[in-house]
Every structure is written in structure tokens, then in C-alpha cells.
Structure 1
């Protein structure tokens, strides 16, 4: 027998052994149950595992050390990509090094000021705002001196992070950047800079709970009723926001929750304002899938009359229909969201308890 024939027989034997191992292991893999996390959330593979990007050599060389620390600190605190923040700072003022009008004092021709080039009207009406005052805008106090100073890098970068988060980041970075400066060429330029600043050469976007994660989410629900609520709500992911919408093609924030409960055979109030007092209040940290999480957001709202609501689908995650410019219905994080008012549990409302009893009796 020639050497080539011996090698051929050995190769065939090796392939056969691998196939046999695969045949033995496949049923074991298929039978393995999903691994649920202990707090009733979903499988580890479906968690938000986005890592904090390492800085590339280009980023280290180009970004001043104090600015880099601020981009990282407030990116993590607010929940947006630090390299997107840094890229905005680079594109706007070269991290505050530009000597053009409006960077260190005054405003430019468009009325923008500071290292992140906020329109004064967007900041809050004036360049320096006592944080104890009432104002509408993104003025922020990053250095803790009690003043939101548009020229102060710490204040401006924190304000920019909040603005990007409010308008879609970290999931929909391009939309958030477009709102920041309404030009798609600007969005492209900022993303290109951000890629150069990250060691991976990418803009990391946290994974949403996708269809692959739905089964573990639903299986981890605390009851069959909650499982039905989640099943309906998650199926609406990707549909557009429409004020007053209750489906089937589009929804607003309270509409998708109202419809999800209705799909489980339960009647709850239709609007956010009426859903807030309806459920039993739940302490922060005790929330579970099926509960509602409320925010002081939107016109005519307050801490005692919140105007936005999401459906808790797992610890730290909610399904929400946020706004027309915020992208489609999706699963997002509520833990770092500003203006969170609290949680309620509609299933503990006395009227819903009676509805649950009726459903149970009708199924007997």
C-alpha cells in the first residue's frame, strides 16, 4: 500500500470519528434547557453584553486625556457609546481646541456655543444656568459646581450624552446624531471618526431582545398570564410609533401595553395618565415582567402624573413605543433612563384580580 493510500484511509477514519461524535452530542445539545439568570430575566446569550470599547492608538494620540476621561465617564453613566461622544467633540471643536467663535465664549453664526456646540436655546436659554432653577434644555452640571456651563467640558459632554440618549442612542446612533445636527453627511463623518477612535474599528450597538430571545423571556414569566402579555408585546417590536395607536399596525406607549393586556384577556386603562394610578405601586428593585415602568416625559406631565410608560420584560429591560422620531417599538434599558418615576403592577388591581378569577373559572 502506498503512503498516499495510507493517508487517505487515515483521513477517512478521522472524518468518520468526528461525525460519530457529532451524532452523539447533537441530541444532548438539542435537549439542553435555556439558561435563565436568577432574577427572572432571560438567557445569558440574550443579555446586553456590549463591552466598553478600548481606545485605539489614534484615539489616545488625538483626544486630550481630560476629555477622554469625560467621554468615557459620561458615556457609561448615561448609556451611550463613548467614542460617539468623542467623535462629536472632535467634529464640532476638535475637543475644545478650536479658536473659532463660540467655542470658548460667545456663540457662532448659528447661535451654538461650547466644546460640544449646543444651541443656546437647546442648552436652556442662556450659557450658564444655576441648576437649582427651572429650565427646558440639556444644561447639565458635570463638575458639581451647581451651574450648567455650556463652555465647561464636563457640563457640555454630560449634556451631549443626555441629548444623544434622548434621541435614540445607543441603539439608534444614526438617528441620535441626525437630531444633534440635521445632516446625514454629518452623521457619516461622526461615525467614521468614532470607528477610528475604537480599537475594534466599530461603533458597538447593544443587542436588543430579538426573536431568538423571546422564548426564554416568555418562559421566565412569573405566570401564564404574564407570558401571554409578553408574547403579544414582543411580537409588536419593529412596528412604528403612532400617537393614539392601539394596533394592529402601530402603537403609542400606553397603546401597546393596553393591547398586550387585552390579548391576555384583561382590561386595563388605555392612556398613560390613567394607567399610572391603576396599578399597585412596586418598589424599585422589586419589579418583574408584566409590571409597568413610568417616566416624567412629554407635554403636560409631572412626577405625579407621568406621561410615558414601558412594559417590563426582564430585569432592567422594557418594551416601549417611545416617540415618532425615536425609531420603532423595541426593547430598551430603563435602568439608566432619566426621569423615571416608578413601577406599578396592574395585575394586583382589585378589578384585574376579579378578571383573573373569571378567566380561571371559564377555563375549568
Structure 2
């Protein structure tokens, strides 16, 4: 079928909205009419850093309505409202033990550009294969997605709002609720108050943590963080977070999260921990140098990497929707909508920090 999709033709170039051909779903796949898709930093990485072979149709926070299902699909049916999330095989040891975000085949399925069977579903009008992104390429009018990447959600919430639950909000909230599992009354420092950091903050508030410390360089975001659950805020351009945390809690915090991927900030996220504390790294990052004895082992600190909030999307995303409906997870306050034609402006607004979570409306 003919679709319209946003494609990165070469490294660093703006996306171009193009006509393309989409194959019919195979036995294990679902055809989804996309209504809206969130923009995440991972999309910018796919555009700029050749994480997936070019040309690539981007988009990995899609939401829409099921139009057709393959013969082997049993979890959704036409007419269902769904959120699209990351791809996982469902068969490896990690998947079978409840950790699909650590799927052994995660990188090839989400960044390799091909579907499960090694073929492509999207093709240019001239017949050239176009890489799929995160198994969905949801900056498109329609997507073909493996059943593992589809989560049914209630139809009484605007489907155009829900796409970011498939990655950014799932990552932030899941890091707290699924991975760290902090105790009631404990303390956490969250570096970066973008979509992921604020989702983590709202999750920390739900648990009832005593100190939820937000660190950022933008005062307007720190003000919003206060409204969403931060008990203390630090502008790291004005004050050293390590000094402020020590003033608040002499021994440091029990948990920290870095969402920035900035090497000096990652070191700060480890330094603010109390002995035996845990730092979760969830931002895209490069090299970081530690004195292992002095900064880590000497105080029994733990540094862990978390992918997609260690979530099982089909179980976790409906819970987040339920929390939203109860007023406990008001992620709609982070959102700004864009027309499909304005997708590159949405990327720019996300990059400069003026918008926390852009959502591109694609369908009617």
C-alpha cells in the first residue's frame, strides 16, 4: 500500500516527507494506522549518528489504530487502540525471564533496519529498500509492526497523546519503578529534567520518596519539576550539585539517575551517592573515566545501565495510562503537538530545549 513517511536520506540531513510502499503484514505482524508519534532523542541519534543504515524511516513512539493483523496474531484485533514500543524477539533467555528490554537481539531488531525475517517492509517508489527504525518507523501514515512491538491501550484516552509512553516516558518511569525500586522515604537525584527525567520524577513522587532532587541548567524546567514532584531543585550552572546534595543530605542520596549522557554530569551523578548507593545511566553517552577504587569500589557504589526502563511494554504501558487517568502521572503537561509537515521544526524545538516532548500528529 502507499504511505507517507519521514525519511533520513543521509547522515545529519533534515527529514524529507516522501511517498513510499508498505508491504502487507506477515503472520506475526500488525498493520497500524498511525495517529501521532512522539519525538525522542533517539530519533535524532538515528538521523545524525548512523545508528541504522540510510535511508531510514524514523519514528519509534507511535500510537494508532489496528487496521489488519497477521494470521498468527492473537493479542490485538482491528479497531484496537495501540501504542508501539521497542522490538524484542520473545524467545531468548532474557525475554523469557521477563527482561525484553535486554533482549539479546535488541540492537539488530531496533537499529539493524530490517524486520524479524531479515527483509524490509518499506520501499521507495523506485523500489529501493528503506530501513525500519525500532521495528515501527512510525513517522508514517501506516506502520507494519511485529506483535511484540504492539501494546493495546484503553480507547477512552486520546490516542494522539499516548505514543511517548512507548519509549521516553516508559524509560524514565520504568527506571524508577521497575529497575531501581526505591523504598518509601528514600532519596534520589535526577540529572536532566527533559521528558525522561520528569517521568522518573513523577514515578518517584508516586512511591513517596522523601528527597527528589532535580538538577538541570534551565530554570523554567526546574520550576516545572517542582510542580511535578521535585522536593529540591539545583541549577548546575549556578551551584555545584555535589555541594548542594551534601548540604541537604550529609551522606548523599541513595539513588541517582543520569538522563543527559554528558560525561562530567555522569561523574557528578555517581559522586552524589551515599556509600552503597546506585546510579542508573539512561542517557546516550560516550566515554567516561573513573578512578574505580576511589570513586566506585571504595564506597561500594553501583553503576547500572537501564534500557527502556526495564519494562515489559504490554504490562507497563497500560499501568502508566491508568496512573495518568488517576492524575498521578500527568505527562500531558510536557507535550506540544506539531503538524506532520512541521516535523523538522519539532526536532529543532526538542534539541534547543524549548519543548520537552514534541508529538507529531500524522493521522486525522
TM-score by length of 2: 0.23
Which structure shows the bigger proportion of residues in strand conformation? 2
> Which structure has the larger Rg?
1
Higher relative contact order (CA 8 A, sep 6+): 2
